[in-house]
Amino acid sequence: MHHQSHEHGMAIPLTQEDRARRAFVSSLRSHVLQQMSAGLRQHFDSTVAEENTKRGKRLETPEDIHRSLLDAFPFKAYSSVRTSAQEMVFDVVSDAVDRNRDSLNDRPTVDSCSGTLTLDPHLELPKNVTGFDVHLAPGAYHAEYQPEDLCAGAVYDNSIDVFAFGQFGKELNDIGSTLANYIRLAYSDFNPQQILDCGCTVGHNTLPWATAFPDAEVTAIDVAAPVLRYGHARAQSLGIPVHFKQMDASDMAFDDEQFDVVFSSMFLHELPPKDLAAYLREAYRVLKPGGVLWQMELPPMNAMPVYENFYMNWDTYYNNEPYYGTFRKQNYRELLSNAGFDEDNFIEATLPRYTFVGDAAFKSALTGSNTFDSLTGRMDPKGTRWYGFGAWKE
């Protein structure tokens, strides 16, 4: 029987029907995010923007654009279909995970690899994880359906496979590959020994750090036990050693100055502002002098065209991402200087996808300047650019 698109020891067998439903939802998402979103943009440019100009109304903020579109049919259709597609992402993977629940939980973890798993059953889970079903995922990251369950990890892994319609790379690790290889190639004298990934979920974007820096020790933390159990088993099966630990990133148990790299991806925008500030101070504390904080995130509002800001913030209005818009409004350089980093040591980059373009093209793109447009931070087969920002610690 066929498995998920990416083979590893935790992949589950899929029936032809599973595969057909998943393929449909991927196609639907791709259609919504490209064709329907282009239709919406065209409607905005040709009708809404013009009408507002005629009436002397300027649409200066993403909220202005949002309000101007609330009654527009293309906006309603786009939003309604996108919501359904998001719900279906989880729906079409749950049957197969339920069917394989026992076999998944009973699968022996490969022990020929030196990665570890350390859980903390006393850790108090933060409200941003337990309080609501983030991006409409039933059960989010932490739900356990039986003792020591790892199925939430399987749901996440499988749902990302459907959700990404290929845009996260064949092994769902393009973001980590892109950001790790950026550090490797842009700072070739830097030789990190200790690397930390915060909010790692199942480690999709943790593993490429171990591949890009084979001499380094890689640690990954998350608050949710099921995704860590699954991530550990998956990494062991792939022979990539990572130390997965259950820990709150805004209150880490690590010593001061322990890591050369503190990395995260798609993490900061899921934190309440207070936890975000605490996390960044913790990141500064656990970094060695000469180490770097480096994170993949949504591009900041102040760098993006106003329509793109409206378009991106759809998620905060309608996709259960309550902190996302507030996060993007901030000045990222200031966020980091408030956490202790020197303003002059701020770094940021918009990067082509490493596993798509290959090492040579990626390297030559590093000399270019940053581009903030409709391909930045979006999932687009035409050539997504990931946005990274961070700072060196003196």
Partner 1 sequence: MRKIPRKRRGQRHQFFAADGVDEILSCVLRLTAEISAVKERLYLAERVLEAQGLHLTAAIEAYEPNEAQSEELAAGRERLIQTVLAQLEGASGTQSIANDNPSIVDAADS
User: In 10 A of CB 349, how many CB atoms?
Assistant: 20
Q: What are phi and psi of 194, to 5 degrees?
A: -125, 120
The token pair at 104 is 């998944």
Comparison of 68 and 384: residue with beta carbon closer to ligand SAM: 384
Comparison of 11 and 227: residue with beta carbon closer to ligand SAM: 227
Q: What gap in Å lies between CA 279 and CA 297, rounded to an integer?
A: 15
- Which three-class secondary structure state does DSSP give residue 259? strand
**Part of the chain binding ligand SAM (CB under 6 A), chosen from 114-122, 269-277, 324-332, 382-390:** 269-277
**Part of the chain binding ligand SAM (CB under 6 A), chosen from 5-13, 14-22, 123-131, 333-341:** 123-131
Minimum CB separation of residue 349 from ligand SAM in Å reads 17
Comparison of 88 and 119: residue with beta carbon closer to partner 1: 88
Binding ligand SAM (rule: CB under 6 A), the pick from 97, 164, 223, 286 is 223
Asked if 325 touches partner 1 (CB under 8 A), the answer is yes
Q: What gap in Å lies between CA 375 and CA 17, rounded to an integer?
A: 33
Helices (H), 137-291: 151-163, 174-186, 207-212, 225-237, 273-286
Asked if 87 touches partner 1 (CB under 8 A), the answer is yes
Asked if 63 touches partner 1 (CB under 8 A), the answer is yes
17 binds, among ligand SAM, partner 1, none (CB under 5 to 8 A by kind): partner 1
Per-residue x/- marks for ligand SAM, 139-168, CB under 6 A? Answer: --x---------------------------
Binding partner 1 (rule: CB under 8 A), the pick from 34, 47, 94, 258 is 94
Asked if 129 touches ligand SAM (CB under 6 A), the answer is yes
Asked if 14 touches partner 1 (CB under 8 A), the answer is no
| Torsion sign across C-alpha atoms 182, 184, 189, 195 | positive
Asked if 222 touches ligand SAM (CB under 6 A), the answer is yes
Q: What gap in Å lies between CA 102 and CA 149, rounded to an integer?
A: 9
- What is the C-alpha end-to-end distance of the chain, expressed in Å? 53
Asked if 29 touches partner 1 (CB under 8 A), the answer is no
Minimum CB separation of residue 119 from ligand SAM in Å reads 13
Minimum CB separation of residue 204 from ligand SAM in Å reads 4
Comparison of 186 and 266: residue with beta carbon closer to ligand SAM: 266
Which amino acid is it at 22? R
Chain-centre distance of CA 9, in angstroms?
Answer: 22
The H helix count followed by the E strand count for the chain is 18, 10
Asked if 235 touches ligand SAM (CB under 6 A), the answer is no
Tell me which DSSP letter residue 213 carries: S
The token pair at 306 is 């106003």
Asked if 270 touches ligand SAM (CB under 6 A), the answer is yes
Cα 208-110-97 angle, rounded to 5 deg: 80
| Torsion sign across C-alpha atoms 296, 298, 304, 308 | positive
The token pair at 394 is 């003196």
**Part of the chain binding ligand SAM (CB under 6 A), chosen from 19-27, 105-113, 236-244, 259-267:** 259-267
Q: What gap in Å lies between CA 80 and CA 100, rounded to an integer?
A: 32
Q: What gap in Å lies between CA 302 and CA 172, rounded to an integer?
A: 29
**Part of the chain binding partner 1 (CB under 8 A), chosen from 53-61, 137-145, 196-204, 338-346:** 137-145
- The pairing of strands 2-3 and 13-14 is antiparallel
204 binds, among partner 1, ligand SAM, none (CB under 5 to 8 A by kind): ligand SAM
Binding site for partner 1 (CB under 8 A): 16-17, 20-21, 23-25, 28, 63, 66-67, 70, 75-77, 79-81, 83-85, 87-88, 90-92, 94, 97-98, 101, 132-133, 136-139, 143, 145-146, 151, 155, 272-273, 316-318, 320, 322-326
Binding site for ligand SAM (CB under 6 A): 126, 128-129, 141, 175, 199-201, 204-205, 221-224, 227, 248-250, 265-267, 270-271, 275
